[in-house]
Each structure stands twice: as structure tokens, then as C-alpha cells.
Structure 1
Amino acid sequence: MAQGAWEDFGAEGGLFRRLRADCAKDWRAYTWHEFCRRLSDGSLPLVAFQDFLIQDYLFLIQFARAKALAVFKAESLEAMREKTESISAILAETTLHLKYCAEWGIPEATVRRTAESAETVSYTRYVIDRGLAGDILDLEVALAPCTVGYGEVALRILADPARKVQGNPYQGWIDAYAGEDYQKLARAAAARIDALGVSHGGEARFAMLAATFGEAARLEQRFWQQGLDAARP
């Protein structure tokens, strides 16, 4: 199980922590959304989780496209290789995601014929747009709230006094993001933001980068919220 606290993502004084602090209210609203709290205590309605799973599958497809753009924008051969590997991992995850959906009673045919929601479209296209308009730092800052944020969500759940472990139907999802592999991925993404902040003039561009980061956090909130809304009459 994961060690450390979410405050440890990124280096002290580094760009990632500065971005997170700049939008602290929106960041907490995202990483401790009602959807997350109800994952923690096991009270999330099944229909809300099912809706999330389908839209998350559709999200992954667009996320892979954004990672492909990151290969094009990458600042080095090493970064290109790293991003290429991440694309392969995401595409493999889509296959696993379909199996996961099936375990929750959602056939593959249902997933594939579902349209992207407005929330999914607005979030994924925003990320891609920031990458098209800017450089690799702009794109990575737009991507980071997803990658790092899910790592933080998992750690917040582990620290939640109201957390339900025994009999929690969502414990498998929690374990996946609290696990060592994902936590390493999240910390590496935060460290990459710090490094690019130094090499690509993050200080001079902070206001614009903070606006991107904050908007991505707000779009993440809406992504959670659509799941809750699906469970309401």
C-alpha cells in the first residue's frame, strides 16, 4: 500500500506545488469531491460508478491522443521514448477497462456505443488544445491534474476516518490508485512538471500555467459530478 502523503508530490518550491497551491480551493474540491468521499465510505450508488467507468474508458482514448501529442512536443529523445511507452500502457488499459466494466455488469457493446458526455469532451479537448497551442510544458501542466490528482485522491481515501474497507465494493479501484505502481507514476508526473518548469521558463509563464492547471482541476470536478448526476432521478 502507498506510503507518504499527498503534500509530498513534487519538490518543495517546485512548479507543481506552486500550481497546486495557486488553485488550492479548486484542487481540494476535485481531489476530495463528494464522488471520492462516497468511494471511500462505500456509499456511492452503483449507477454513478458505472457511468464513471464508461466515460473514463472514453476519456482514456482521448488521453492517449494527448500523450501522442506529447511525443511530438517532447524536448528530448528520452522523453519521446517515455511518452511512447505511456501511450502503449494507456491503450492496454482500455482493454483492461472493458473487462473491468464487464465485471460491473456493463457489456463491451454498451461501452462502445455510448457517446462521450459534454464533460468528457470539454475536458479532453481542453487538454489537447493546450498542447496544440503551447509547448510540452503547457501540455504536461494540462495533463498533470489527472495523473497526479488520482494519486492524491487515493491517499486522501487511505487517510479518511470515514473510510470503509471491509465490504466496500470500490476497494479494488482504491487499491489500484493507492498501489505502489500508480503512486510512482503520479510522483514522476509531478517531478516532470518541476523539471520542465526549470528548463522551459515556468517562472516567467506562471500565471498562464496556473490558469491551465486550475481549469483542468475544475474540469476534473465536473467529470466526477457527472457520475453523481447520473444517479439522481
Structure 2
Amino acid sequence: MGFFERLKAEASVEWRAYTEHPFTNGLADGSLPEAAFRHYLVQDYLFLIEFARAYALAVYKSPRLADMREAAGGLSAILDVEMNLHVKLCADWGLSPADLEQAPPAAETLAYTRYVLDAGMRGDLLALKVALAPCVIGYAEIATRLASRPHADAATNAYRVWIAEYAGVPYQEVAAKARAHLDHLADLYATPAREAELTAIFKEATRLEADFWEMAWREGQCVAELR
């Protein structure tokens, strides 16, 4: 069993709560309230700005040139690809990139991004990559599961573009490379004495991912109740 699989096994409860959250199931069948998805996209745009900073930190923390290039690739994927998807989807609601950047961050957004950046500042490259892993690798796993559902790519499903983006080959390759690099770093730097510390980082980052879904899910429920 590779290092990432060991982390998942140790954090099985947190991982299930994150990857199988009702928010994700609503994406698959199109039942997710639009207000929930809109709130998520705006907050995720802010989240990605901070994640880009985390990848820039990964460049600085990298002990080898190959590690620097891997981190730079992740930074480019966020700034040049992933954020553009959010801009495209939010344009349908009349939101510009400036509107997204100036939106107030939710408490859950701040908690998650600050945790990842703090893990990177205090620790080494491996600790930072463990904190990043639930998002980077988890989205690929979630999208693959959702894409297999009956109505995921139906023309009537407003969320099919999001699913297709993360289930598509380009993002799946990004996630696979991130997973391989994490396993490689663990082979070099993950001693038995550090295993508990790294597992704790992974569990907390995964829990914060579930909280991020929950934040958007609550927004959708509140709007539905007001109606």
C-alpha cells in the first residue's frame, strides 16, 4: 500500500464524509440548489487564490529542481486552468473576475486556506503536500465517481461542465502526478516517527474539505427555506 493509500485508510471516516458529502451527490443528479453551487464557486475562487500561494510556497520549500518544477506545474494548473473554469461558470450569473476576487471569504474558506499555508510554513515540502492532497487528489476521485452516475452528463444537468472538468483526462493526470509525487516524497522523508504527524495533517485537511462542502450546502438549504 502506497503512502497516500495509507493516509486514506487512517482517515477513512473523514475521507468518506468529504468525498460522499450530499453536496457532491447533488452535483451528480443535478438536484443541488443553484444558490449552493454559486456560493461554492465564489468561495472556491478565493480558495484557489490561496492554494496558488501554497504552491508558490512549495517551490520555495522544494529541495530539488524536479520538486520545484512539479510545484510550478501545480501553480500553473490553478492560475491558468482551474480558475478559468470558475470565471466561465460565474459569468452566467453576471459575476466578473473582479467580483469574485473582491467577495468576502467565508469562515470555512479562511480556516482551510490558513491551515494549509500554516502546515507548509511550519513543516517541509512533504507536510505541505500532505495538506494539499485532499483537495488535489480528492477532486479527481469525487469527479470520477460522479461521472459514472446515470444523469451526470445529461443536458439537463447544470453541473455537467464541472463534473467533466475534474473527471476529464487533463485534471486526472494532474491528480495522478500529485499522488505519485507525494508517494515519492514519502519514500524519501516519511519516517515511522513522522507518520502520526502527517496523518493528523491529512485528517484535518480532509475535515476542512468536508466543512467547505457543508458551508455551500447550508447556503442552498437556507435559500430554499426562504422561498
Q: Scaled by the length of structure 1, what TM-score is found?
A: 0.89
RMSD (Å) for aligned C-alpha atoms: 1.6
State the one-letter code of the partner of 2:50: Q
Which one has the bigger helix percentage? 2
Relative to structure 1, is the Cα distance of residues 186 and 144 closer, same or farther in structure 2, using a 3 angstrom cutoff?
A: same
Structure 1: which 5+ runs fail to align?
A: 1-12
CA contact (8 A) 1:42 1:164 kept: no
Pairing 1:19-30 to 2, within 5 Å after superposition: 19-30=7-18
Aligned-partner Cα distance in 1 for 2:165–2:179 = 19
Query: In the alignment, does 2:95 pair up with 1:106?
Result: yes
Out of 108, 123, 127, the residue aligned to residue 116 of structure 2 is 127
Aligned-partner Cα distance in 1 for 2:28–2:85 = 23
Out of 55, 73, 77, the residue aligned to residue 61 of structure 2 is 73
1:170-228 Cα offsets, whole Å, 9 max, x none, are 00000000001111111111111111111002433111111100111100001011111
Aligned-partner Cα distance in 2 for 1:100–1:139 = 29
Quote the offset at 1:163 in angstroms.
4.7
Quote the offset at 1:84 in angstroms.
2.0
Aligned-partner Cα distance in 2 for 1:109–1:139 = 29
1:17-69 Cα offsets, whole Å, 9 max, x none, are 00001011110110111000000010000010000110011001100100011
- 2:27 is aligned to 39
Relative to structure 1, is the Cα distance of residues 184 and 200 closer, same or farther in structure 2, using a 3 angstrom cutoff?
A: same
Matched pairs, number: 221
Out of 195, 206, 225, the residue aligned to residue 206 of structure 1 is 195
CA contact (8 A) 2:74 2:174 kept: no
Quote the offset at 1:109 in angstroms.
4.3
- 1:155 is aligned to 144
- 1:6 is aligned to none
What is the SS of the residue equivalent to 1:204?
A: helix
Aligned-pair identity (%): 48
Out of 151, 163, 169, the residue aligned to residue 158 of structure 2 is 169
Aligned-partner Cα distance in 2 for 1:208–1:134 = 10
Structure 2: which 5+ runs fail to align?
A: 223-227
Q: Scaled by the length of structure 2, what TM-score is found?
A: 0.91
Query: In the alignment, does 2:63 pair up with 1:62?
Result: no
Tell me which moved more, 143-152 or 198-207.
198-207
